[in-house]
Chain A
């Protein structure tokens, strides 16, 4: 199994959260790590921007070298580096994943690249937390469950990985309370009834799902105001990894339904693995 960690070519340091997460995952799983950097595709005739390209290559090489060094220092046994040119960063990363047979793509959470890959990545996506340490090893997987197809994808992946890594699994359903539509003639807390009803529906289902799993895993229905409140109500610790499914929505559906995965990723205080439908196995 191979983890591909996307390492930006930018001169400005973006922090090393993605490298720390890759190290934690590799220590837990014993996988090897490929540090991938994507640079812009130059002119077809190399003479036009030869010097610039040479400079970019130098920058990339030194950055990748430092990253590989950091990863080895952090206890990762096998580290390789790959640099590719592509028309876009997501396309380049997908190319690397396919070339090296990657099983998980590790990224930082900032910027547009993770958002873009959330639905188009051919393998699950591990996104580092904004702050805090991912821990020495992954000590618990928390899989979101809402009974949808994307939940099934997430659960399939989480079950497999929890067995492979020998870490406990827990199931969580989020029940966020929305803001009411103002001016509400039914009081300002009317949405609480909706989230309560959802929590009740979810609780029953969650217990049924858990009962069929080996373990059986812990379950929690996390309620709070809005997605941030609900996600933080689940209770988190170092070494936690959250698993979320995402569906391949068309552009229209994305506008009308929005993306639950995006909201959860935004609110999560721990690293998140997003499992796009169809990539779970």
Chain B
């Protein structure tokens, strides 16, 4: 095979028309939710997808790195999330099909880039599902302890690296979610709105009570490890902003995307960031920075210490158990559907896009995802999972931002429902912030990520290259 043909193979792009045909986006009936989405609902989508991924448990790994300056880390992560979401929105509105950054990359940047993005998204979705289910198990234990005075033994509720044998509650949660997905559960816009209200209320409840114990003395020293600590913490915290892309991908549904999308993205981001900042400030004000290290179900424990009685911790833990459950469900769902798209394109084996005749859902793919997530959740400590998720997401988002620039140069005339304001500054800053946060991640995460990409490369060479739906007919 000659060099030019390898190159054309690696960078072959999937025609947008083929995507439109696959998803029937051109159908007259326009689907269930067609053009019924306004700014408020879009914001609710973004807030619902974002809050609950990390805020309930990210403090215990972030504060030891940054100290009380973790508040600044949140700001840094929020700015990055905002830039990337804007770039994501432009790409989503340019390619009028359902999908994720994987589909957008396939249409614009070529197969090998899309392939890498797809594997990064497995980190964003599957690994983060595992991470949130580990967090769920912490809060479940806290809730059980507070309500009936029983804890699941450490051996059965922690991963081997965190002082246990297996994290059983996390595995149970993953199994439950998989059952619901196999059954074809869907969560309506109304259910999402209810969840948003619940999550925000629970967090504000925490803020109000924790602020009663605010002690300015806890804020000094403010940044014991300096800038390096702040940015390292921001890299982990970025995890808790994942989900904002729910607004961007809904872009094709919006009547006036040019106005609505940026408002919804910024609006959701502001709400999320304000809530996070309040929570962070209340938390670091309520207890000394040293107390965060290794704290399980952190927010509930803080409330218990502050209030001197158990019921506030019970309320918070119950709220966390419910909202993290819904987040796990949604994230695992996203993973099965991304793998579905990749499998349909021949990037991974067809088992992921096989629809079961009884349930009309991709049952085998769901089971495979559940196994993968379940093993991670049961046997890998939380910190690793959080950092790996941040890594995958940041790389995927960098590619999206680069994609915006590439597409503006290669296909300037393509109709775009939404254009990033302040081009080219915003996409460039977006990439810069992503790289900065990636830089702050620990070495072991880099190593794991490199290993992950190596596996991806092997699969590409041995499978995807020859199975791609775009390969030339022979």
A interface with B by C-beta (< 8 Å): 146-148, 175-198, 201-202, 223-226, 229, 256-258, 260
Q: How far is the CB of B286 from chain A (nearest CB, A)?
A: 30
Is B7 an interface residue, CB under 8 A from the partner?
Answer: no
Contacts of A226 in B (CB 8 A): 32
**A194 to B249 Cα, complex, angstroms:** 17
Q: In the complex, which residue of chain B has the Cβ closest to the Cβ of A146?
A: B357
A186-B337, A197-B344 known; A177 vs B31 contact (CB < 8 Å): yes
Q: How far is the CB of B172 from chain A (nearest CB, A)?
A: 16
Contacts of A182 in B (CB 8 A): 45, 48, 186-189, 191-192, 330
Which chain B residues (142-198) contact chain A, with CB distance < 8 Å?
179, 182-189, 191-192
Do A185 and B49 touch across chains, with their CB atoms under 8 A apart?
yes
**A6 to B442 Cα, complex, angstroms:** 73
Do B22 and A193 touch across chains, with their CB atoms under 8 A apart?
yes
Contacts of B358 in A (CB 8 A): 146, 148, 257, 260
Mark B8-39 against chain A: 1 for CB-CB distance below 8 A, else 0. Answer: 00000000000000111100010111000100
Contacts of B304 in A (CB 8 A): none
Do A183 and B98 touch across chains, with their CB atoms under 8 A apart?
no
- Assuming A193-B337, A260-B358, what are 14 further A-B pairs, CB within 8 angstroms? A178-B186, A178-B360, A179-B32, A185-B100, A185-B246, A188-B37, A189-B98, A190-B341, A192-B24, A193-B341, A194-B355, A197-B344, A223-B24, A256-B179
Is B245 an interface residue, CB under 8 A from the partner?
Answer: yes
Q: Choose one: A181, A189, A198, A258; the contact of B186 (CB below 8 Å).
A: A181
Q: In the complex, which residue of chain B has the Cβ closest to the Cβ of A179?
A: B186
Is B333 an interface residue, CB under 8 A from the partner?
Answer: yes
Do A186 and B338 touch across chains, with their CB atoms under 8 A apart?
yes
Q: Choose one: A183, A184, A229; the contact of B29 (CB below 8 Å).
A: A229
Contacts of B29 in A (CB 8 A): 224-225, 229
Is B241 an interface residue, CB under 8 A from the partner?
Answer: no
Contacts of A224 in B (CB 8 A): 29
Mark B101-130 against chain A: 1 for CB-CB distance below 8 A, else 0. Answer: 000000000000000000000000100000
Sorted nearest first, the 9 A-B pairs with minimum C-beta distance are A187-B98, A189-B98, A183-B49, A198-B355, A183-B45, A183-B246, A187-B249, A181-B333, A183-B48
Do A187 and B355 touch across chains, with their CB atoms under 8 A apart?
no
Is B340 an interface residue, CB under 8 A from the partner?
Answer: yes
Contacts of B183 in A (CB 8 A): 256-258
Do A194 and B31 touch across chains, with their CB atoms under 8 A apart?
no
Contacts of B179 in A (CB 8 A): 256
Q: What are 14 inter-chain pairs, A to B, with CB distance below 8 A?
A: A181-B333, A182-B189, A183-B243, A184-B249, A184-B334, A187-B100, A187-B252, A188-B31, A188-B250, A192-B25, A197-B340, A202-B357, A256-B179, A257-B358
**A188 to B185 Cα, complex, angstroms:** 15
Contacts of A176 in B (CB 8 A): 360
Q: How far is the CB of A256 from chain B (nearest CB, A)?
A: 5
Interface SS of chain A: mixed
Q: Choose one: A186, A197, A257; the contact of B98 (CB below 8 Å).
A: A186
**A146 to B360 Cα, complex, angstroms:** 10
Q: In the complex, which residue of chain B has the Cβ closest to the Cβ of A247?
A: B358
Is B212 an interface residue, CB under 8 A from the partner?
Answer: no
Do A193 and B23 touch across chains, with their CB atoms under 8 A apart?
yes
Mark B181-224 against chain A: 1 for CB-CB distance below 8 A, else 0. Answer: 01111111101100000000000000000000000000000000
Do A185 and B249 touch across chains, with their CB atoms under 8 A apart?
yes
Is B65 an interface residue, CB under 8 A from the partner?
Answer: no
Do B192 and A196 touch across chains, with their CB atoms under 8 A apart?
no
Contacts of A177 in B (CB 8 A): 31-32
Q: How far is the CB of A173 from chain B (nearest CB, A)?
A: 9
Size class of the B contact interface (CB-based, 8 Å): 35 or more
Q: Choose one: B243, B355, B359, B360; the contact of A185 (CB below 8 Å).
A: B243
Q: Choose one: B333, B353, B354, B362; the contact of A184 (CB below 8 Å).
A: B333
Contacts of A188 in B (CB 8 A): 31, 33, 37, 98, 249-250, 252-253
Is B97 an interface residue, CB under 8 A from the partner?
Answer: yes
A178-B184, A182-B188, A184-B333 known; A189 vs B23 contact (CB < 8 Å): yes
Q: Choose one: B191, B250, B354; the contact of A187 (CB below 8 Å).
A: B250
Contacts of B361 in A (CB 8 A): 194
Q: Choose one: B32, B245, B354; the contact of A225 (CB below 8 Å).
A: B32
**A235 to B338 Cα, complex, angstroms:** 33
Q: In the complex, which residue of chain A has the Cβ closest to the Cβ of B196?
A: A183
Is B374 an interface residue, CB under 8 A from the partner?
Answer: no
Q: How far is the CB of B14 from chain A (nearest CB, A)?
A: 13
Mark B416-458 against chain A: 1 for CB-CB distance below 8 A, else 0. Answer: 0000000000000000000000000000000000000000000
Q: How far is the CB of B185 from chain A (nearest CB, A)?
A: 7
**A224 to B29 Cα, complex, angstroms:** 8
**A179 to B184 Cα, complex, angstroms:** 9
Is B349 an interface residue, CB under 8 A from the partner?
Answer: no
Contacts of B182 in A (CB 8 A): 256
Is B298 an interface residue, CB under 8 A from the partner?
Answer: no
Q: In the complex, which residue of chain B has the Cβ closest to the Cβ of A145?
A: B357
Do A181 and B31 touch across chains, with their CB atoms under 8 A apart?
no
Contacts of A179 in B (CB 8 A): 32-33, 186, 188
Do B330 and A181 touch across chains, with their CB atoms under 8 A apart?
yes
**A224 to B27 Cα, complex, angstroms:** 10
**A193 to B31 Cα, complex, angstroms:** 12
Do A181 and B32 touch across chains, with their CB atoms under 8 A apart?
no
Which of B31, B97, B192 has the most chain A CB atoms closer than 10 A to its own CB? B31
Q: How far is the CB of B73 from chain A (nearest CB, A)?
A: 23
Q: How far is the CB of A178 from chain B (nearest CB, A)?
A: 6
Q: How far is the CB of B400 from chain A (nearest CB, A)?
A: 13
Do A185 and B33 touch across chains, with their CB atoms under 8 A apart?
no
Do B357 and A148 touch across chains, with their CB atoms under 8 A apart?
yes
Is B267 an interface residue, CB under 8 A from the partner?
Answer: no
**A69 to B455 Cα, complex, angstroms:** 77
Do B100 and A193 touch across chains, with their CB atoms under 8 A apart?
no
**A201 to B45 Cα, complex, angstroms:** 32
Do B360 and A195 touch across chains, with their CB atoms under 8 A apart?
yes
